[in-house]
Amino acid sequence: MPGIHNDKNAQMALVTGAASGLGFELALLLAKDGYSLILVDVNAEKLQEAQNEIEALYPTQIQILHKDLSQQNVAEEIFQALDGKNVNVLINNAGFGIYGSFNDTDWERDLAMLNLHVITTTHLTKLILKGMVARGSGMILNMSSLAAFQPGPLMSLYYASKAYILSFSEAIANELKGTGVTVTALCPGQTRTCFQEVVSNGAKASENRINFNIACPKEVAEYGYEAMKKGKVVAIPGNFNKFLSKLPRFVPRRTATAIIRKIQEKNRDQ
């Protein structure tokens, strides 16, 4: 596999799930700030379109890597493609959701999501973090979710995996104090991206039964990007989402879980 070539003096950012949605919006913000980019996504066609669009707006160097981040050892493949180049910003954004009873969902699809959210995110962070710590600088943004704050019936593994990302991010952020490296967990609520289309049994986001409090991806990306630059550990965009994240502290956990199930049934069933 050929290495990634870039200006040695340029700051480099790596973004997974960069072909659309929040990943694309974050890549635009990085390009605007002068970063050279490594964009990774499973959708080769959209990835090329994203590169073309960003290059038309900003004079930045972009390398695209067509990778399925749900596969084993893909983090190592990406790291090897860096060919020793420094990554100053890592954004672990790639992800997807699965709707349905755990008893009924397809295990191969479950496993792919867990590999993506847990294994690849953790492994890529570990590989790139060592260089950041050695240099005494770096920023990592991990895409968690409002789902991380409570159990989620009918999306059990998605909610659990996002809780893992949040816990993992908070823990290593604490470990990294004083190193010059920061870790931020971005925890958005519903956001108008293709994620909604995948989860809702193929329905478009605009067809979801519950359309209240669905955020614009550009605004969520800007909020998360600024939080990352400030070194904030947990970033929850929107006052209503901040309220929802705290709700499980004030109502019985069983009640919170039951409420989430009702919301999922109304929002997802078509």
Break the chain into its structural domains and give their ranges.
12-268
Kindly give the interhelix angle for 21-32 and 44-57, rounded to the nearest 10 degrees.
30
How confident is residue 199, by pLDDT bands cut at 50, 70 and 90? low
User: How does residue 204 score in pLDDT terms, banded at 50, 70 and 90?
Assistant: very low
Q: Looking at residue 192, what is its pLDDT? A: 67
Output the pLDDT for position 207.
Answer: 47
- Report, as residue numbers or ranges, the catalytic residues: 158, 162
d(CA 191, CA 30): 20
12-268 carries CATH number 3.40.50.720 = yes
Least confident of 82-86, 103-107, 143-147, 202-206: 202-206
What pLDDT sits at residue 28? 98
56 CB burial (10 A radius; 0-12, 13-18, 19+): exposed
CA dist 97 and 262 (Å) reads: 17
pLDDT tens-digit series, residues 24-64: 999 999 999 999 999 999 999 999 999 999 999 999 999 99
More confident residue, 145 or 9: 145
pLDDT of 2 > 50? The answer is: no
> Beta strand 89-92 with 138-143: parallel, antiparallel or unpaired?
parallel
Q: CA 101 → CA 21, 238, 257, distances in Å?
A: 27, 29, 14
Label residue 78 by pLDDT band (50, 70, 90): very high
Q: What does pTM read for this prediction?
A: 0.87
pLDDT bin (cut points 50, 70, 90) of residue 202 is: very low
